[in-house]
Structure 1
Amino acid sequence: MKIYKIMERKFIWFSISLAIIFAGLISIAVHGLNWGIDFTGGTILHYSVGQSYELSDIRKTMTELNIKDFEAKKAGDEGDELIIRTVVLTKDEQAKITESLKGKFPKLELIRAEKVDAVIGSELRRQAIIALIIANLLMLVYISLRFELKSGIAAVLALLHDVLIVISWYALFRVPIDSSIIAVILTVVGYSINDTIVVFDRIRENLKTMRKISFSEIANLSIVQTLTRSINTSLTTLLTIIALNLFGGETIKDFTMALIIGIVSGTYSSIFIASPLWSMWRKGAKTA
């Protein structure tokens, strides 16, 4: 069995992750996050267009009306519906948008016009942070009891890495952040910890039988032994989500892309972040 020197190149793996996260943090510091209507408050306009259309025509119409802060997405099974999320609009402003769009699309009809209060966004943010903290604390306790405290801390740091990678993607590409980010982050956290536990479990098994070699060598061997399983699991999951991203419609593209980024990051962190961190804390120790 070929043994890859993953532990020996740990600083390369750390540098790749830190570069992405650092770029994301710079983007947040300079531009901030692109909070969606769910968090900032605003107006949601849902139309039945009644024909095929291009989003470029919608964006052009909105720009002509001097509305700069908005998001337009296709919806409906046939892609003949339109959802516009923008700042809080008066009834007159909503009527102007509807009239302008109807000039280009005669069959257009307004299905709903809904105001989203910013207070809801504040509550969602608070609940999301609480849910994430509780999830990480419970996993830290579980892994510490099943393995040891060092492995629990390494696993939680790997989870934090995955969350920061996903947030960096939102920041760097200015993707609007809506309430689906809560589902994305909690899904990624759950998926990533599963991969990490599989690697740690194999390390624990190998520690019982390999008492004369260093922990780094055992970690390398354990990762190789679980590598096929990790890749196959991630690949089958990614194929499903990629299919949803390509054929699931515009309304879930950002959601599925965030999941793709998160799952790739979760697989990466299980192999190249969590195990090397644990190895560093056990550096120089023998298994005997």
Structure 2
Amino acid sequence: MNSKIHFDFVKHRNKFFAFSILVTIVGIITLIAAGMHFGVDFKAGTTIDASLGQSTEKQQVEKLVSDEGFEGYVVTMGANNERTSVRFDEILGDADIKKIQTALTAKYGDKVSTEVNTVSADMATEMGVKAIYAVLIAAAAICIYVTIRFEWRFAIAAIIAILYDAFFVVAMFAIFRFEVDLPFLAAVLTTIGYSINDKIVIFDRVRENMRFAKLRTDNDLADLINHSIWQTMARNVYTVLTVLIAAVCLMIFGSESIKLFALAKVFGLTSGAYSSVCIATALWFLLRRNKLGATKKVAAAK
């Protein structure tokens, strides 16, 4: 092994575990105490998206809706303030929807076009359940894939780290009260895909180095893991930075409808890079160390 160890990740594994456990506990407490800030995709309500054909201010749209006698709504702006979205926590009837459409047309002219999306309570519940299924099925499929390609120890380490990445995104959105919608779910699933890619790159190098390594002690195993991490560090950093820069650009310059998707990607990519190096490899070390200890006992018995 010719790579230089700049930092001993295995040696500091307990610090990484403690940090990750702390984040997980804070996230769980937040979810229990406050829950998620669900958007209209996951709770009943009506959203009216309108293209105004001219620039306007958020306060003007809020005043227009308020003057029509409505309460319990949230207004967001996008596309150079020429588009607006008004989300209601209740399901509006046709008469109320027509009332808002008429008010928008009277204020901004005949170029106004609107799109109405209504989610019932049953549909919101169903979408929430399907979202959970999607994440669990993706995680299970990845576990099977890693088991076939590597071994069960790699699979367990990878799946724990991947579930942590997914939960980290959920926890950040719960803690900071960001809105959760379908693009958020897409970001979580994409995070899982990028996260497993990072882990497979490192695990593949670990497996390759094991072919030429003589593992007699825990230090030998730790040394192998650290060398494998640093041998793949440049590739992982470049890959993550490429996608991270794109996500940050979307978050800064993208429309309102895509900003939270990009933010979820930033959280997920950051966590994925961290867990690949600091969590997954450390978990595999603990699992593989047990096998090394069992081998020593068998050899001693003989």
Deviation at 1:188, TM superposition (A): 0.6
Does the C-alpha gap of structure 1 residues 210 and 127 become closer, same or farther in structure 2, counting only changes over 3 Å? same
TM-score, scaled relative to structure 1: 0.89
Q: Write the distance in 1 (CA, Å) between the matches of 2:175 and 2:65.
A: 24
State the Cα deviation string for residues 183-217 of structure 1 (Å, max 9, x = none).
Answer: 11111111100100010011111111121562111
Superposition deviation, residue 61 in structure 1: 5.8
Asked if the contact 1:162/1:266 (under 8 Å) is kept, the reply is: yes
2:190 — aligned with what? 187
What does residue range 1-288 of structure 1 map to in structure 2 within 5 Å?
Answer: 1-59=4-62, 65=69, 67-68=71-72, 70-76=73-79, 78-87=80-89, 88-94=91-97, 97=100, 105-107=107-109, 109=112, 111-212=114-215, 214-283=220-289, 285=292
Tell me the secondary structure at the aligned position of residue 211 of structure 1: coil
Q: What per-residue deviation string (whole Å, max 9, x for no partner) do you get for residues 31-57 of structure 1? A: 111111111121111223333233355
Q: TM-score w.r.t. structure 2 length? A: 0.85
* TM-align CA RMSD: 2.5
Confirm or deny: 8 A CA contact 2:57 2:81 kept in the other structure: no
For 2:225 and 2:275, how far apart are their aligned partners in 1? Answer: 14
SS in 1 for 2:12: helix
AA in 2 matched with 1:140: C
Residues 4, 56 of structure 1: alpha-carbon distance in 2 compared, 3 angstrom cutoff: farther
In structure 2, how many angstroms separate the alpha carbons of the residues matched to 1:17 and 1:99?
A: 52
Q: What stretches of structure 2 of length at least 5 have no aligned partner?
A: 297-302
CA deviation map 1:47-78 (0-9, x unaligned): 2333323335545666775623x3322234x4
Q: d(CA) in 2 for partners of 1:204 and 1:32?
A: 41
Which 10-residue stretch deviates more, 120-129 or 202-211?
120-129
Shift of 1:136: 1.5
1:93, CA displacement in angstroms? 4.2
Separation (CA, whole Å) in 1 of partners of 2:35 and 2:64 = 27
Identical amino acids, percent of aligned pairs? 32
Runs of 4+ in 1 over 6 A off after TM superposition: 99-103
Q: Which amino acid aligns with 2:87?
A: R
Unpaired segments of 5 or more residues in structure 1? Answer: none
- Measure, in 1, the Cα distance between the counterparts of 2:57 and 2:279: 43
Counterpart-to-counterpart distance in 1, 2:187 and 2:287: 31
User: Deviation of residue 92 (structure 1)?
Assistant: 5.0
Aligned-partner SS, 2:232: helix
Max radius of gyration: which structure?
Answer: 2
Shift of 1:253: 0.4
2:30·2:175 contact (CA, 8 Å) conserved in 1? yes
